[in-house]
Amino acid sequence: MSTVVREYDAKIDSKKRLTLRGAKYDYYHVSVLQDQRIILEPRILTVPEEISENTLKMMDSAVKNMKNGKVSQTPDLSEFKE
């Protein structure tokens, strides 16, 4: 069983928000249990720093095919014109 590190009472504001004092994270995963307990688990969202090696290979292959004329026919979009 986990030890309680910090405990305080909080009140929901008029927009149904709750303020977490001293929150270390910007995002939390919320789980509401059947007995009305709420569990907040911190989440760290990351942005990929680069395009994956596999994606780059696929893009290179697509450009090579296009330059060699190996492309599909242009789709007929005339039915979408007004």
Question: Whole-prediction pTM value?
Answer: 0.48
Name the token pair of 14.
Answer: 């008029």
The per-residue pLDDT for range 29-57, each reduced to its tens digit, is 999 999 988 889 999 887 767 788 899 99
The per-residue pLDDT for range 6-33, each reduced to its tens digit, is 888 999 999 999 899 998 999 999 999 9
- Bridging pattern class, strands 27-32 and 38-43: antiparallel
